[in-house]
Structure 1
Amino acid sequence: MQRRTLSAASRLAGFLTRTLGGDAGAGLILMAVAAAAIVVANSPLAHAYHAMLHDPLPGSPIARLPTLHHWINDALMAVFFFTVGLEIKREVLAGALADPARRRLPVLAAAAGMAAPALVFLLFAAGQADLHRGWAIPAATDIAFALGVLGLLGRRLPPSLRLFLLTVAIVDDLGAVAIIALFYTAQIAAGWLVASLVLLAGMAILGALRVGRPLPYVLLAAALWYCMLHSGVHATVAGVLAALTIPLRPDRSGDSLLLRLEHALVPWNGYLIVPLFGFANAGVSLAGLGLSDLLAPLPLAIAAGLFLGKQVGIFGAILLAERLGLARPPEGASRLQLWGLALLCGIGFTMSLFIGALAFPAHPALVEQAKLGVLAGSLLSALAGYLVLRLAPPMRGA
């Protein structure tokens, strides 16, 4: 009996290690955390949950970060954006985006996959001028969720699909950062912004000199984040800008500071920072929720943007690029599989929730409505994408 128990435990441990260690791992954890946040927000612990996140901290060292929620969204997420910046630089200089021919289709698909959801949002929110600031909420794809769903399908899909999803998501992340910097910036404080630029120039000089020790970059990046926090530009933008100064070229020992930092930070992102952000931001009350609430202008516009806009934009861009001879679709992938992938890109959890909070900072009720739209659109996209990819036959000859 004991031997059977140990054998079952061993098989379970092996399954969890294989699952959580692969592409599906971070996505599954994020799904579990999002579900936990919704459960807690609709339980007797709801008051304690909101108080923990939104009540002023007894002694916050930075006045602009008075609550735990602020520290998670403005400080921890800067580390997330720093890691995103490292990945973007590596892919542009030495990865899938380094070859103009290979990056053409992902760039076109990502651009169309951001524009179409925004247009769908504005179409559904027509006549609601107070909601127009939310146009970018459905424009982003959550790479952890999407790769998690893709990972659940195992080896049924050609490897080219995963690479295509990764490159589209990287371009998508870059576009989302640009949107945050350009469209969700508060009133600029010139002195703090100048100080930010001076610090960024200092980091760029370190990178040009190929300084291989991380400490100088970390100190300047922390100062850059602090100045950006007070400048009016959202502080998380500092993370991406700082990352772009980190040298990728191997040093005399054949090592690269960028690769070392990325390798060190990716697990912290996937297994701590993003799940913590999800738990802090996905908790929406469903008490008394009816169909009329889900069909309210803001949730409906966001859900439609994610579910309809993403698939139309990305799948349409793939077909149009192929028809015009601009780029070839991913090798070994059928049209049905490409459509399923476009559906998965409608999962907009992390970045969509983040932009939703930026779009309506003075209207908590609209932020809660935005969460409903993000969760509904992302769930529809995940289920539909999974079913299409699960049922799609492999491409003939692949």
Structure 2
Amino acid sequence: MSLPSVLKPALTPFIRFVQNEAFAGVLLVCVAIFAFAWANSPWAANYFDLRSTYFKLTLGSSELKLSLEHWANDGLMAVFFLLVGLEIKRELLIGELASRRKATLAVAAAAGGMLLPAGLYALVNGGGVGASGWGVPMATDIAFALGVLALLGSRVPLGLKIFLTALAIVDDLGAVLVIAFFYTAGLNLAFLALAALTWGLALFAGWRGLFSLKIYAVLGAFLWFFVLESGLHATLAGVLLALAVPIRRPDPAGYLASLNAAPRPTEGEEEEARLLDLEDLLERSQSPLHRLEHAIHPFVTYAVLPAFALMNAGVAIGGGAGLGVVSLGVLLGLLLGKPLGVVGFAWLAVRFKLASLPDRVHWGHMVGAGLLAGIGFTMSLFVSNLAFGNEALLTQAKLGVLLASVLAAVLGAGWLLVVSKSGVEGEALDGAVSAE
């Protein structure tokens, strides 16, 4: 059954986003499996040599030298966080999170999905050598989670996909705050001041309505470098820049006048050229935020996340390395804490009439979403790198993340397949909860 035409304009961005992230999830799985197999193969030394290969960027007398692993984690992932920041800003201002009741459901579910996993991890590792890893099981990998939902197709309602998208976006915001406040080392005040000044210029440019993306690209490059040198994690520069990019569109009057004044295209090459001009005109009439989001989304999908997976999913399990108490904390947090937190806090929000479930979504679906939220891959691996300097503990954390993500995907997909075949029971459960 096709969507009503009146709903298509509003839902198209979500549908496009779901489709892209579904492919990103499949690609990430393949790259992660390849990296893990490589790191445990007879050619493992080549893998780790590749990760530790240094590349330098020289500008005048200044030189920035980082390993390939750090270029992926600190450089490319800043673009990923830029995309996350753009999505957060868009959803807060004009998207799903702009509606109070819808936002309340996503925020409540995300809060529960962060607090309970961190609490369970701390219960296992509090006071021990792995205590600093409490932030590892807090995050949700939106690419993997939506990839699993896409594989289920029409068996799950669109409202569940939209809810899980909003949940993951709020979740990412929470992860950004955790990184900024709890996983930041000593600060260099001089570079911090330069970063603040650069961000102020970007905010001023957005406030003044400067719509050229080149301005934000140049300011973003300087902001990234200053944040990197300040002691804050460099990826935070991406979020800060996203907050400055304006979401309002240029004055449409000039574009409409140009479109109305444009002569009717003739046949042949002249017609094609005129159509390309009109297409460019329409694209430039979009807000800078939407243009930037659409421009970098394929780069993040096909380059940034696969590169990150290649550099971080290669965990060697030989030589005594393996699962441990840190892995147990991560497993409990992602597989138990996530679904309990997401469903429990969402139920409280609905119970106290602060929010309502999306259309055609019942509590059986919500349990499945909670299980899928336990797929922590990208962000959990990222936080693991920040939380642990000890290689053995880092290996435990990464193994816990990889194992939990696979199990969460299987359990979530299996659960949703079951409840999708028993829709009557799901509706009955929904009615029973509402009647309480």
Cα distance in 2 for partners of 1:22, 1:67 equals 30
Shift in Å at residue 140 of structure 1?
0.2
Task: Give me the whole-angstrom Cα distance separating, in 2, the residues matched to 1:269 and 1:204.
Answer: 24
Change (3 A) 1:92 1:141: same
Which of 34, 37, 61 is residue 35 of structure 2 equivalent to?
37
Which whole-Å CA distance do the structure 2 matches of 1:127 and 1:208 have between them? 47
Q: 1:205 to 1:60 in 2, by over 3 A?
A: closer
**Under a length normalisation based on structure 1, what TM-score does the superposition of the two structures give?**
0.90
**Amino acid across the alignment from 2:249:** P
Task: Tell me what 1:11 maps to.
Answer: none
Cα contact 2:138–2:380 (8 A) shared by 1:
yes
One-letter code aligned to 1:271: Y
Closer, same or farther in 2 for the Cα pair 1:234/1:23, shift >3 Å? closer
Contact 1:65–1:71 at 8 Å: present in 2 too? no
Once the 2 structures are TM-superposed, how far is the Cα of residue 334 of structure 1 from its aligned partner? 2.2
2:377 pairs with 1:349? yes
Give the conservation status (yes or no) of the 8 Å contact 2:105–2:355: yes
1:22/1:151 contact within 8 Å kept: no
Q: Counterpart in 2 of 1:321?
A: 349
SS at structure 2 position matched to 1:66: strand
Contact 1:124 1:297 in 2 (8 A): yes
Distance, in Å, in 2 between the alignment partners of 1:210 and 1:127 is 50
Deviations 1:294-320 (A, max 9, x none): 2x1101101111111101100111222
CA shift, 1:50, in A, is 0.5
Give 1:263's aligned residue.
294
- Aligned amino acid, residue 272 of structure 1: A
1:82 shift after superposition: 0.6
Deviations 1:125-171 (A, max 9, x none): 1341x211100000000000000011100001111100100000010
Distance 1:369 1:119 in 2: 18
Query: CA, structure 1 residues 282+264, in 2 after alignment: closer, same or farther (shift >3 Å)?
Result: same
Which residues of structure 1 form unaligned runs of 5+? 1-17
Cα offset for 1:79?
0.6
Cα distance in 1 for partners of 2:46, 2:57 equals 19
Q: Find the counterpart in structure 2 of residue 113 from structure 1.
A: 113
Which residue number in structure 1 is paired with residue 270 of structure 2?
Answer: none
SS in 2 for 1:155: helix
Report if the CA contact (8 A) 1:210-1:247 is conserved.
Answer: yes
Question: Which secondary structure does the structure 2 equivalent of 1:97 belong to?
Answer: helix
Shift, 1:364, TM fit: 1.7
State whether residues 104 and 349 of structure 2, in contact with CA within 8 Å, keep that contact through their aligned partners in structure 1.
no
Which of 316, 335, 347 is 1:307 aligned to?
335
8 Å contact kept, 1:299–1:373: yes
Q: What is the match of residue 366 of structure 1?
A: 393
> Which residue is 2:414 aligned to?
387
Q: Deviations over 1:321-359 (max 9, x none)?
A: 222222112221222211011000000000000000001
- 1:134 aligned partner: 133
Higher deviation after alignment, 322-331 or 338-347 = 322-331
Note the alpha carbon deviations across 1:162-201, whole angstroms, 9 max, x for none.
0100000010011100110000111011110011000000
Kindly tell me: are residues 154 and 289 of structure 1, through their superposed partners in 2, closer, same or farther at Cα, counting changes over 3 Å? Answer: farther
Whole-angstrom distance in 2 between the partners of 1:246 and 1:66 = 28
Residue 272 of structure 2 corresponds to which residue in structure 1? Answer: none
User: Where does 1:3-152 land on structure 2 (aligned, <5 Å)?
Assistant: 22-57=20-55, 59-61=56-58, 65-128=65-128, 130-152=129-151
Task: Tell me the SS of whatever aligns to 1:255.
Answer: coil
Instruction: Indicate conservation of the 8 Å contact 2:21/2:144, yes or no.
Output: no
Question: Counterpart in 2 of 1:286?
Answer: 317
User: Aligned-pair distance for 1:28?
Assistant: 0.6
Size of the aligned set, in residue pairs, is: 374
2:331 is aligned with 1:333: no
Q: SS where residue 136 of structure 1 aligns? A: helix
- Segments of structure 2 that go 5 or more residues without pairing to the other structure are 1-15, 256-284, 431-436
Q: CA RMSD in A?
A: 1.9
Distance 1:265 1:172 in 2: 21
Structure 1 residue 298 and structure 2 residue 326: aligned?
Answer: yes
TM-score (norm 2): 0.83
Distance 1:255 1:322 in 2: 36
Structure 2 vs 1, CA of residues 63 and 136 (structure 1 numbering), >3 Å: closer, same or farther? farther
AA paired with 1:112? G
Match of 2:6 in 1: none
8 A contact 2:101–2:354 mirrored in 1: no
| Aligned mates of 2:157, 2:141 — CA distance in 1 | 21
Superposed displacement of residue 54, structure 1: 1.3
Which deviates the most, 385-394 or 159-168?
A: 385-394
User: Alignment partner for residue 375 of structure 1, among 364, 377, 402?
Assistant: 402
Letter in 2 for 1:384: L
Work out the CA distance in 2 between the residues paired with 1:136 and 1:190: 26
Q: Which has the larger radius of gyration?
A: 2
Shift of 1:56: 3.3
Distance 1:63 1:353, change over 3 A: farther
